[in-house]
Structure 1
Amino acid sequence: MTIEIPELCLVVLIGPAGAGKSTFAAARFKPTEVVSSDACRALVADDEDDQSATPAAFEVLHLIASLRLRRRKLTVVDAVNARPGDRRPLLELAGERDCAVVAVVLDLPGSLCVERDRARSGRTVGSKVIETQRAAIARSLSDLRDEGFAAVHVLRSPEEVDAAKVRRVPLPVNRRWDRGPFDVIGPVRGRVEALAALLDRLGYPAAGAHPAGRRAVFLGDLGDAPAVQVVSGLVAAGAALAVRGDGDEELAERLPEPDAGFLRGLPSHLVLARGDLVAVHAGIRTDLQGRDSPRVTEFCLRAEPGWAAAYRGRALVVHGHAPGPCPRWVGRTAGIDVEGQLTALRYPERELVSVSGDY
């Protein structure tokens, strides 16, 4: 089995004592990525077997996990996590950091867990505790997705555990490695003739691919089926990228497949050029860049008043959403939704190119 996990997420290991959670984590993750309840117990009590230190140990565990996620560091929680109440704080702190949570359940036979527990040096938990833990996990196993886990992977035998591989998958919003150059194009809103004229001025041939390797980046609100088909064709040809606009949600409800699926699959924003450029429909704060959650998507589609004036990030944020009489440069943000025009910003040149385009 290959377990795919987002490059930025909280991985929650679930399994009774003796299931091999620590061994599984040590073989697949960096030591610094794993936050163990036993290690946190040792931190606060100098003894990982001191059960009286468990509440304080989990305070430390939750704090470390939260701080790592804030710094965009994948984090693995190594604890029994048998009950919904044990897992709820982890789901909540990941939600506060706009990170997905992935469950990896080691549902191994009870007899094997008891055998491993007895073979341990030092403190053992005993067969009764292990069976209680296994029963609690079994009761809630089918409800893990409803608790809020983005994915659930269950390993039921030592062979499955040994064969399991972890593959880290880039978030759809993360294209930092893509250096461009780019032509960021404002909301099309169904103006396919203006789009054709703008692409021609930017040097894109009818076939799509730019001779200089440039790529168009569309800021959402495509407007109608013909525009969706033009943009999706460019994306399929590798000549363009696109983000979702607030109008694309309603448009997707009216369109047949595959156009509707194309719109629904668009990311909320794109982080490009080593993090120096962010393309987004309406706007985005620094702390939300490179994260992917419903809260991030909502901000990207509609933003909030005054976000651009308050923005102090390193990346240049290019956005659309609110048409104005001219392009608007506010700090390190560029609004290219212009009344009566379809406008592109060439990056890294930071040159504006416009054509007439009423809608």
Structure 2
Amino acid sequence: MSRAIDVPDRSLVVLVGAAGAGKSTFAAEHFLPTQILSSDHYRGLVSDDENDQGATDDAFEILHSVAEKRLSRGLLTVVDATNVHKHARQGLLRLARRHHVLAVAIVLDLPETVCVRRSTDRPDRSIRAGVVRRQHKDLQRSLKPLREEGFHKVHVLRDESEVNSARVRLNPLHNDRRHETGPFDVIGDVHGCRQELETLLSELGYHLNRDSSGRAVDAHHPDERRALLLGDLVDRGPDTPGVLRLAMGMADSGHALVITGNHEDKLVRALRGHNVRVSHGLAESLAQLDEAGEGFRQRVLDFCAELPVHYVLDHGNLVVAHAGLPERYHGRASRRVRVFALYGDTTGETDEYGLPIRYPWAREYRGKAVVVYGHTPTPEPEWENRTLCLDTGCVFGGKLTALRYPEHEIVSVPALRVWSEPARFPGAAAPGTNTARPTREEQ
């Protein structure tokens, strides 16, 4: 039986093992030569002798520098070194965090006797048996805490048969949908406004599918367009279960893509029993979900817990994130990327309502992708430097708004009423549908 090792195609792979474990052979079999950064190779570069241990510090300085450049470009990078000491791994993990990529450890934990035999028998390089044994002991001490150091995954291969049968599978991140080109209808924050969502979908040309009780459970477009929901489906509005039922049905059928917002993030924690502050409509959502039944609650939890925080689409020309995302975070994965995508960035100050003042990241955006987001309600959709805010405050009596992509047409429907009194919303625009096309400067 072969052993499958799944590796994100944008990641830092750290090989771990004593000398003689076969790390270099493993790397050469499963990765491209340009992807592999070998400590032996860099020792040779700086000293003309791969065995010169006195050149190790200089070698790793260069190795880290090259790794930094590769990771800044989002390129898969494989570090071939013993990495049996925590301090060596921590330096590499800091690189991964700095560039918002996942780190994966592949551990070759072969028996000590095998490592010693291979090391002492090498014709090109002989390593003393005592050195190999110390490295092997250091590895054994590292195995248990290794999983808690910050690696996304730790794969341990314990004998030669496992190493020989291993298959590395490079997988795109969940947020990588560059192959999907649309057309899309990107929809801003719904916040439990089911009737307005159904009306907007109909305005966009979708046909609603209803169950025997008349509830909308799916919607499809005759021209095979897909809806793209920007998160904050829940809270504040009158029918969070109805919105979720429709969104989940569309996602299951492939008629919609959905990303999470900060309100879904908080709902998941509440449904899991965590101690969260029940505010901003969460109490109403939990009560509505209780009425829908335990089975539906569990389905909602499973669905919302798996939602990504952003998508990269259309060959990198379109990025969607609930609160927006600067270019340096596109297609990346880290806690910082997640927090920004859910909440945006703040100045550290609060306004007269006691709410955080958002840092105007869009004002500085110069990326090639159009970034579409919601989170901060505005009376009208706002284009700025190829970014567009689609949260037009439907739950506060404003509008529910969509962007037709790639046409760049705006379509809105008015809220039926003020469902939640806003702490901060400049006011609703006049009812109606706006199909204005942004100018090149606005995009």
- Shorter-chain TM-score range: over 0.9
Q: How far apart in 1 are the matches of 2:308 and 2:48? A: 46
Q: How far apart in 1 are the matches of 2:99 and 2:305? A: 23
**Maintained 8 Å contact 1:209/1:238:** no
Residues 1:295 and 2:336 are matched in the alignment: yes
Q: How far apart in 1 are the matches of 2:61 and 2:299? A: 47
3-state SS in 2 of match to 1:257? helix
Q: How far apart in 2 are the matches of 1:123 and 1:171? A: 39
Amino acid at match of 1:259: V
Q: How far apart in 2 are the matches of 1:115 and 1:77? A: 24
Q: Which residue of 2 aligns with 1:337?
A: 391
Higher relative contact order (CA 8 A, sep 6+): 1
- Select the residue among 315, 320, 326 that pairs with 2:369: 315
Residues 1:242 and 2:251 are matched in the alignment: no
How far has the Cα of 1:42 moved from its partner?
A: 1.1
Amino acid at match of 1:226: G
3-state SS in 2 of match to 1:54? helix
3-state SS in 2 of match to 1:342? strand
C-alpha RMSD over aligned residues: 1.1
Aligned ranges 1:145-160 → 2 under 5 Å = 145-160=147-162
- Select the residue among 267, 282, 285 that pairs with 1:251: 267
Q: Which residue of 1 aligns with 2:41?
A: 39
Q: Which residue of 1 aligns with 2:424?
A: none
Q: Which residue of 2 aligns with 1:107?
A: 109
Q: Which residue of 1 aligns with 2:233?
A: 222
Which of structure 1's runs of 4+ aligned residues deviate more than 3 A? none
Residues 1:274 and 2:315 are matched in the alignment: yes
- Residues 130-174 of structure 1: CA deviation (Å, up to 9, x unaligned): 110010010110111111111111111111101000111111111
Amino acid at match of 2:304: L
Q: How far apart in 2 are the matches of 1:117 and 1:335? A: 60
- Select the residue among 390, 394, 407 that pairs with 1:349: 407
Q: How far apart in 2 are the matches of 1:265 and 1:124? A: 49
3-state SS in 1 of match to 2:90? helix
Q: Provide the identity percentage.
A: 47
How far has the Cα of 1:219 moved from its partner?
A: 0.5
The structure number with the bigger radius of gyration is 2
Q: Which residue of 2 aligns with 1:197?
A: 199
Q: How far apart in 2 are the matches of 1:191 and 1:341? A: 10
How far has the Cα of 1:22 moved from its partner?
A: 0.3
How far has the Cα of 1:58 moved from its partner?
A: 0.6
Amino acid at match of 2:406: P
Q: How far apart in 1 are the matches of 2:338 and 2:105? A: 23
Structure 2: stretches of 5+ with no match in the other structure: 210-218, 235-239, 272-285, 287-296, 346-358, 420-443
How far has the Cα of 1:244 moved from its partner?
A: 1.1
- Residues 259-306 of structure 1: CA deviation (Å, up to 9, x unaligned): 022112111111100010111111110100010111001111111211
How far has the Cα of 1:85 moved from its partner?
A: 1.2
**Maintained 8 Å contact 1:280/1:319:** yes
Structure 1: stretches of 5+ with no match in the other structure: none
3-state SS in 1 of match to 2:307? coil
Q: How far apart in 1 are the matches of 2:341 and 2:155? A: 31
Amino acid at match of 2:254: G
Q: How far apart in 1 are the matches of 2:203 and 2:377? A: 22
Amino acid at match of 1:348: P
Residues 1:209 and 2:220 are matched in the alignment: yes
**Maintained 8 Å contact 1:268/1:292:** no
Q: How far apart in 1 are the matches of 2:49 and 2:17? A: 22
**Maintained 8 Å contact 1:44/1:57:** yes
3-state SS in 2 of match to 1:146? coil
3-state SS in 2 of match to 1:62? helix
Amino acid at match of 2:178: R
What number of residue pairs does the alignment pair up? 359
- Residues 159-205 of structure 1: CA deviation (Å, up to 9, x unaligned): 11010001111111110010010000001100000000111111111
- Select the residue among 63, 84, 95 that pairs with 1:93: 95
Residues 1:15 and 2:36 are matched in the alignment: no
Q: How far apart in 2 are the matches of 1:229 and 1:68? A: 43
Q: Which residue of 2 aligns with 1:182?
A: 184
- Select the residue among 364, 378, 394 that pairs with 1:324: 378
Amino acid at match of 2:331: G
Q: How far apart in 1 are the matches of 2:154 and 2:94? A: 17
**Maintained 8 Å contact 1:24/1:161:** yes
